[in-house]
Amino acid sequence: MLRVQNSPRRRYREQVIGEIKQAALAQIDAGGPGALSLNAVAKTLGVSGPALYKYFRNRDELLTVLLLDAYDDVAGAVRETLEATADEPARHRLWALAAAFLGWAAAQPHRFALIAGTPLPGYEAPPESVGKARAVLGPFLTVLAQGRPAPVAGSLTGQLGEWAATTPAVADWVRTWAPDGDPALLLTTVLSVWSRLHGVVSLTVHGQFTGMGFDPAALLRAEMDAVADRLGLD
Amino acid sequence: MLRVQNSPRRRYREQVIGEIKQAALAQIDAGGPGALSLNAVAKTLGVSGPALYKYFRNRDELLTVLLLDAYDDVAGAVRETLEATADEPARHRLWALAAAFLGWAAAQPHRFALIAGTPLPGYEAPPESVGKARAVLGPFLTVLAQGRPAPVAGSLTGQLGEWAATTPAVADWVRTWAPDGDPALLLTTVLSVWSRLHGVVSLTVHGQFTGMGFDPAALLRAEMDAVADRLGLD
DNA sequence: GCACTTTGGTTAGAGGTTGTAACCATCGTA
DNA sequence: TACGATGGTTACAACCTCTAACCAAAGTGC
């Protein structure tokens, strides 16, 4: 009877970890990732500061867990949107995916800041975050493949084709989401989507568009329209 | 004989302020804006921590000064590029402006983080930073006006036209850099440029493109090409 | 059932931060 | 020359991250 994974003690530990994460997120919500204080989290839970080190090796590990959770969360939102729009024209799906991302980020700007590569002193995102970012962008590949991706002038498409040819994980990723697509062309386009998405979302949640009288969702839609036009998406 | 602005004491004060800023930038360089420690700056200068409060009201004020300096610096780089490319075709000018911005940010990623709206606990960028951001984008308006800016589908162009019509500072800004341009159309386009620029640069300096085998400058060029195509820029 | 191990908590404390108050020396001004 | 401004100091409050040592309770194996 192997009970290692299911005991009162195990359940207690999971519960406490959940409470720690919750309290930590509330703090990050109020002041950004840099405002995370293990002491303040501990006070919220009614334990001493050092008690938290029984659950997380250090502050960075807690940040890492929160970051990976955030990725999973937004990836889930995007994937659900892909599924929910299965019957819609590709252009609409692209809008919806982008809107889902923007909506997620606007609802939790500081979680977005966690995944956006925001510099934190001494902190470095873990290697796994690369795979998580691909999970977020995967659904976009599916939609982009419904158009006719084209190369761009310059060296970019060639460089990306090289990358796909020499990195099996990347080729697999593209194949998973767009089985019949050309990796170099799809990477070229998804990179464009990613940087535009990131640009609009980042400027939005960091308040840089404040006072400018326009709706960031309208800008994002226009940017996705420009992508769709290039692809010949209906 | 009014000597208030020019005395040994005044000059000493300016020198010390300069040294503080320099030491602060070195720290930010090493660990990002959040790593700024007034104590460590003081130690670098061989004075006590509280001595710095004679020059800056608090840490935020030092961050603000550094942020405004960074804006002036990058705005200068972009403006110089505009002037240096006066004889080139508009498309090349657009490339050059974007490349100047990327080059500046890549050379000092943490100064870029300062102006990019990176969340810092309790810190809020000052109102003047809006005008500074416009100084950075102004030269782009000049180049964009050499093409035929067009509206985009959706509400964006209308919203931006409304903003320009109700905000004299914005209308003045557009007129300063593109005297004969249509504000709504130019704002629509410069917003697109800004978000693409920000997207590529931000992902670049935050290391999110690391290991992907392509040159971010090639991506940025492709994005500016897409803008130029839309404008009919030579 | 008992002895040992593991887990989960505590306190004490080191070394760091930001910022204030009080004090003092020096310079500048009226 | 007296007073005010400037520029420095130390002491300290309140906060941070994290480690070490200790102890109580739960879990495990014989």
- From B49's Cα to the closest Cα of chain A, the distance in A is 20
* Interacting residues of A120 by C-beta distance below 8 A, sequence separation 6+: A33, A34, A63, B32, B34
CATH value at residue B131: 1.10.357.10
* Contact between residue B74 and residue B104 where contact means Cβ atoms under 8 Å apart: yes
Q: Which residues of chain A have pLDDT under 50?
A: 1-4
Here the tokens at position B46 are: 């061989």
Specify the residue for token string 């979302």.
A201
| CB burial readout A209-219, b (16+ within 10 A) else e | beebbbebbbb
For A200, name the nearest residue in chain B, comparing CA atoms only: B195
* Statement to judge: residues A138 and A200 lie in one domain: yes
- Nearest nucleotide, CA B4 to C1': C28
* Statement to judge: residues A72 and A172 lie in one domain: yes
* Statement to judge: residues A111 and A49 lie in one domain: no
* Statement to judge: residues A130 and A198 lie in one domain: yes
pLDDT of residue A5: 57
Interchain proximity A195–B196, CB inside 8 Å: yes
* Statement to judge: residues A48 and A99 lie in one domain: no
pLDDT of residue B125: 81
* Statement to judge: residues B6 and B65 lie in one domain: no
Domain boundary among the residues B20, B41, B56 is at: B56
Find the Å distance, CA of residue B6 to C1' of nucleotide C29: 15
A101-122: pLDDT as tens digits: 999 999 999 999 999 887 788 7
List chain D nucleotides near protein: any atom < 7 Å from a Cβ: 6-11, 15-21, 26-28
- Nearest nucleotide, CA A10 to C1': C7
Which residues of chain B make contact with A221, given a CB cutoff of 8 A? 153-154, 156
B83-131: pLDDT as tens digits: 999 999 999 999 999 999 999 999 999 999 999 887 787 788 888 889 9
Closest CA to B70 of B128, B143, B13, B19: B128
Give domain status of residue A218, yes or no.
yes
CATH value at residue B11: 1.10.10
pLDDT of residue B201: 97
Mean predicted confidence (pLDDT) in B187-209: 95
A50-85: pLDDT as tens digits: 999 999 999 999 999 999 999 999 999 999 999 999
Q: For the CA atoms of B25, B215, A189, A124, what is the dihedral angle to 10 degrees?
A: -40
Give domain status of residue A62, yes or no.
no
pLDDT of residue A120: 81
**Cβ of A49 near strand C (distance < 7 A):** yes
Mean predicted confidence (pLDDT) in B207-230: 94
* Statement to judge: residues B86 and B43 lie in one domain: no
Give domain status of residue A142, yes or no.
yes
**Cβ of A15 near strand C (distance < 7 A):** no
* Statement to judge: residues B162 and B226 lie in one domain: yes
Domain boundary among the residues A11, A35, A56 is at: A56
Task: Please tell me the total count of domains within chain B.
Answer: 2
Q: What CA–CA distance (Å, rounded) separates B217 from B97?
A: 12
* Interacting residues of A95 by C-beta distance below 8 A, sequence separation 6+: A221, A224
The parent domain of residue A7 ranges over: 1-56
* Statement to judge: residues B29 and B109 lie in one domain: no
Closest CA to B117 of A58, A209, A157: A209
Mean predicted confidence (pLDDT) in B180-205: 96
B132-177: pLDDT as tens digits: 999 999 999 999 999 998 888 888 999 999 999 999 999 999 999 9
* Statement to judge: residues A46 and A115 lie in one domain: no
Closest CA to A151 of A234, A90, A231: A231
* Statement to judge: residues B22 and B128 lie in one domain: no
Domain boundary among the residues B39, B56, B73 is at: B56
* Statement to judge: residues B27 and B44 lie in one domain: yes
Mean predicted confidence (pLDDT) in B7-12: 88
